[in-house]
Amino acid sequence: MRLDGRVESEMVRLLHGTERPRLAVVREKLLRFCDRHQLRAPSRATIYNFIDRCPDHHYSIAELPGYVRDALYNLDPNDSVPGHQLAFYAFQYGDNRAACFAAGLPWIDLHQANRMRGWRPRTIGLLRAVMRRRGIP
Protein backbone atom coordinates (compact mmCIF):
# COMPACT_ATOMS: atom_id res chain seq x y z
CA MET A 1 0.00 0.00 0.00
CA ARG A 2 1.34 3.41 -0.97
CA LEU A 3 1.01 5.85 1.91
CA ASP A 4 -0.39 9.33 1.52
CA GLY A 5 2.31 11.88 2.36
CA ARG A 6 0.23 13.29 5.22
CA VAL A 7 -0.16 9.86 6.78
CA GLU A 8 3.56 9.19 6.40
CA SER A 9 4.40 12.54 8.03
CA GLU A 10 2.07 11.76 10.93
CA MET A 11 3.66 8.34 11.38
CA VAL A 12 7.13 9.94 11.49
CA ARG A 13 5.90 12.43 14.09
CA LEU A 14 4.41 9.64 16.23
CA LEU A 15 7.49 7.40 15.99
CA HIS A 16 10.20 10.03 16.52
CA GLY A 17 9.99 10.26 20.28
CA THR A 18 12.85 9.33 22.55
CA GLU A 19 11.09 6.28 23.99
CA ARG A 20 9.33 3.63 21.96
CA PRO A 21 5.58 4.27 21.85
CA ARG A 22 3.12 1.42 22.19
CA LEU A 23 2.18 0.55 18.63
CA ALA A 24 -1.46 0.07 19.58
CA VAL A 25 -1.50 3.72 20.64
CA VAL A 26 0.25 4.77 17.42
CA ARG A 27 -2.33 2.86 15.38
CA GLU A 28 -5.21 4.40 17.32
CA LYS A 29 -3.86 7.92 16.79
CA LEU A 30 -3.33 7.20 13.10
CA LEU A 31 -6.90 5.95 12.76
CA ARG A 32 -8.23 9.17 14.31
CA PHE A 33 -5.90 11.27 12.12
CA CYS A 34 -7.05 9.44 8.98
CA ASP A 35 -10.72 9.75 9.95
CA ARG A 36 -10.32 13.51 10.48
CA HIS A 37 -8.61 13.96 7.11
CA GLN A 38 -10.66 11.35 5.23
CA LEU A 39 -7.61 9.25 4.37
CA ARG A 40 -7.13 5.52 4.19
CA ALA A 41 -5.60 4.28 7.43
CA PRO A 42 -2.51 2.05 7.21
CA SER A 43 -2.71 -1.52 8.42
CA ARG A 44 -0.81 -2.76 11.45
CA ALA A 45 1.66 -4.54 9.13
CA THR A 46 2.25 -1.30 7.20
CA ILE A 47 3.11 0.47 10.45
CA TYR A 48 5.59 -2.27 11.42
CA ASN A 49 7.19 -2.17 7.97
CA PHE A 50 7.40 1.62 8.11
CA ILE A 51 9.44 1.47 11.33
CA ASP A 52 12.34 -0.14 9.45
CA ARG A 53 12.38 2.55 6.79
CA CYS A 54 11.26 5.52 8.89
CA PRO A 55 13.36 8.60 8.17
CA ASP A 56 15.88 8.84 10.94
CA HIS A 57 17.20 11.70 12.99
CA HIS A 58 20.24 13.55 11.72
CA TYR A 59 22.91 14.98 14.00
CA SER A 60 25.39 17.69 13.14
CA ILE A 61 28.83 16.20 13.77
CA ALA A 62 30.25 19.56 14.84
CA GLU A 63 27.66 19.80 17.65
CA LEU A 64 28.42 16.37 19.13
CA PRO A 65 30.69 15.96 22.15
CA GLY A 66 34.37 15.44 21.33
CA TYR A 67 34.42 11.82 22.49
CA VAL A 68 31.56 11.03 20.10
CA ARG A 69 33.24 12.90 17.24
CA ASP A 70 36.35 10.77 17.86
CA ALA A 71 34.26 7.64 17.14
CA LEU A 72 33.18 9.18 13.81
CA TYR A 73 36.80 9.17 12.68
CA ASN A 74 36.20 8.88 8.94
CA LEU A 75 33.36 11.38 8.55
CA ASP A 76 33.69 15.04 7.66
CA PRO A 77 33.14 17.13 10.80
CA ASN A 78 31.06 19.64 8.81
CA ASP A 79 28.47 17.04 7.78
CA SER A 80 25.57 15.47 9.59
CA VAL A 81 25.19 11.81 10.42
CA PRO A 82 22.01 9.70 10.53
CA GLY A 83 21.10 8.45 13.99
CA HIS A 84 21.53 4.76 13.22
CA GLN A 85 25.07 5.37 11.89
CA LEU A 86 25.88 7.49 14.93
CA ALA A 87 24.81 4.62 17.19
CA PHE A 88 26.84 2.13 15.16
CA TYR A 89 30.05 4.18 15.22
CA ALA A 90 29.69 5.17 18.88
CA PHE A 91 29.24 1.55 20.00
CA GLN A 92 31.81 0.09 17.59
CA TYR A 93 34.61 2.63 17.71
CA GLY A 94 33.91 4.91 20.65
CA ASP A 95 34.94 4.75 24.28
CA ASN A 96 32.55 4.13 27.16
CA ARG A 97 31.35 7.74 27.10
CA ALA A 98 30.46 7.48 23.41
CA ALA A 99 28.60 4.21 24.01
CA CYS A 100 26.69 5.85 26.87
CA PHE A 101 25.81 8.75 24.59
CA ALA A 102 24.56 6.32 21.94
CA ALA A 103 22.54 4.39 24.52
CA GLY A 104 20.48 7.54 25.09
CA LEU A 105 19.62 8.12 21.43
CA PRO A 106 15.96 7.92 20.36
CA TRP A 107 14.62 4.38 20.14
CA ILE A 108 14.17 4.41 16.35
CA ASP A 109 17.88 5.13 15.85
CA LEU A 110 18.85 2.14 17.99
CA HIS A 111 16.26 -0.09 16.31
CA GLN A 112 17.59 0.77 12.86
CA ALA A 113 21.22 0.45 14.00
CA ASN A 114 20.45 -3.08 15.17
CA ARG A 115 19.53 -3.98 11.58
CA MET A 116 22.89 -2.81 10.17
CA ARG A 117 25.59 -5.24 9.11
CA GLY A 118 29.18 -5.26 10.33
CA TRP A 119 28.70 -5.38 14.08
CA ARG A 120 31.32 -7.07 16.23
CA PRO A 121 29.83 -9.62 18.65
CA ARG A 122 30.78 -7.66 21.77
CA THR A 123 29.30 -4.39 20.60
CA ILE A 124 26.10 -5.84 19.12
CA GLY A 125 25.60 -7.53 22.47
CA LEU A 126 25.95 -4.18 24.21
CA LEU A 127 23.48 -2.52 21.83
CA ARG A 128 20.96 -5.32 22.32
CA ALA A 129 21.34 -5.14 26.11
CA VAL A 130 20.56 -1.41 25.95
CA MET A 131 17.58 -2.08 23.68
CA ARG A 132 16.27 -4.81 25.96
CA ARG A 133 16.62 -2.53 29.00
CA ARG A 134 14.76 0.27 27.23
CA GLY A 135 12.04 -2.05 25.86
CA ILE A 136 12.98 -1.66 22.22
CA PRO A 137 12.23 -4.75 20.09
* pLDDT value, residue 99: 97
Q: Give the C-alpha separation, 32 to 38, whole Å.
A: 10
Q: Give the C-alpha separation, 23 to 44, whole Å.
A: 8
Give residue-wise pLDDT tens across range 65-111. Answer: 999 999 998 888 899 999 999 999 999 999 999 999 999 999 999 99
* pLDDT value, residue 97: 97
pLDDT > 90? residue 62: yes
Give residue-wise pLDDT tens across range 14-54. Answer: 999 899 999 999 999 999 999 999 999 999 999 999 998 89
Burial of 45 (0-12, 13-18, 19+ CB in 10 A): exposed
Identify which has the larger pLDDT, 2 or 41. Answer: 41
Q: What's the gap between Cα 48 and its chain centre?
A: 13
With left for phi above 0 and alpha for psi between -120 and 50, is residue 116 left, alpha or beta?
A: beta
* pLDDT value, residue 1: 58
* Partners of 60 in beta bridges: 80
Burial of 52 (0-12, 13-18, 19+ CB in 10 A): exposed
